[in-house]
Structure 1
Amino acid sequence: MASKDVREQHESAGAWAKRYYQTSQAVLESILRPHGLGPTQWYVLYQLAHDGPTRQRDLVRALRIERATMTGVVAALVRKGLVEQTPDPGDLRQKTLRLTEAGGELWTRLPDPIARILAVAFDGVSEEEQAQVVRILRGATERLAHHLKEETAP
């Protein structure tokens, strides 16, 4: 009986959500690798290309990553000449990031890995079905976040 329970857990929505995430990350990495970028570096470039100059701490929040991780990602992007890091005029303790000219040029040449992933993953899936998947996963995520908040409240 235990093996059946384990088998069912491996076929659960949560297990498939995890597999989808892991596989989509692998595809994302394979698309970006020829351009010398990792996924987090791409997300930083995406934010800067779409939102313009941004405080580094705001990117930490937006991307939900550790500050130390962001420091390493930004250092790599600066070293590659894709991002410029300057003291924020409103608070010199903070850093503002912006795309360099080379970063902007690279951005215009990059394929959109998210569009590619979605096109392949949801090929033949109707818009209604895709919207249903989003509703289900959003609701499940919100319920879990609420549960976690209640469990960790003092």
Structure 2
Amino acid sequence: MPDEAIDPHAPHAPQAPAAVGGHGGDALDTVGAWAKKYHLASRSVIEASLRDYGLGPTQYYVLYQLSHAGPTIQRDLGVMLSVERATLSGIVATLVRKGLVIQEADVSDQRQRVLRLTDAGRALWAELPDPVAILKDVAYSGISEADLAVARQVLQDATAKLTDYVTRLSAERQPILYPARAPQRRRDE
């Protein structure tokens, strides 16, 4: 047998040895790895479709929300887009500087900021390509709705399980308590 060629597709072909550390298989050929590759490739398509307009993906989604839902509280927008507050502040500041968005105090709560499209923002929105439609046309061409539904369900289920796992893990962890530091004596004492 050692001199014979091994057909890896034969029913009882020997399996490749597990990788060092017990993580068998090709780590780059997992559902998670392909989900990440898809995310990066789709982000590249979205960035390329918006580049000529001077917009990034998150700026696009801010304009999308404001054009479809109207004025929106900035804090709520951060939650909707899963963007950290500091990151969103920079994105909004850029859109305000470009004259596409107005940021003003909410009349019912002066601490909150409400975002609105300007006339220039509405005009730009009207001429923007739809990067999500481009993405769907390119990525899903020739893939059946049934296959897309399965892929969506697998990723939804896996995401929910991982989110639940992290939540449970965080709840089980006890905070790290550092011993109180002894007061430092001054040299002149």
Letter in 2 for 1:41: Q
Distance 2:134 2:24 in 1: 33
Distance 1:128 1:80 in 2: 43
Letter in 2 for 1:47: Q
Q: Which has the higher strand share?
A: 1
Aligned residue pair count: 154
Give the alignment's TM-score, normalised by structure 2. 0.78
- Is residue 132 of structure 2 the alignment partner of residue 114 of structure 1? yes
Match of 1:38 among 48, 53, 56: 56
For 2:83, what is the secondary structure of its paired residue? Answer: coil
Q: Which has the higher helix share?
A: 1
Question: Runs of at least 4 residues of structure 1 off by over 6 A?
Answer: none
Q: CA deviation at 1:8?
A: 1.6
RCO higher in 1 or 2 (8 Å CA, sep ≥ 6)?
1
Distance 2:130 2:159 in 1: 26
Match of 1:144 among 162, 178, 186: 162
Quote the residue 1:89 is aligned against: 107
The Cα RMSD (Å) is 1.5
Give the alignment's TM-score, normalised by structure 1. 0.95
Match of 2:43 among 22, 25, 39: 25
User: Alignment identity in percent?
Assistant: 49
For 1:92, what is the secondary structure of its paired residue? Answer: coil
Distance 1:23 1:40 in 2: 16
Alpha-carbon displacement from aligned partner over 1:33-53 (angstroms, at most 9, x marks no partner): 100101110010011111110
Distance 1:109 1:54 in 2: 22
Higher alpha-carbon Rg: 2
List gaps (5 residues or longer) in structure 1: none
Letter in 1 for 2:86: A
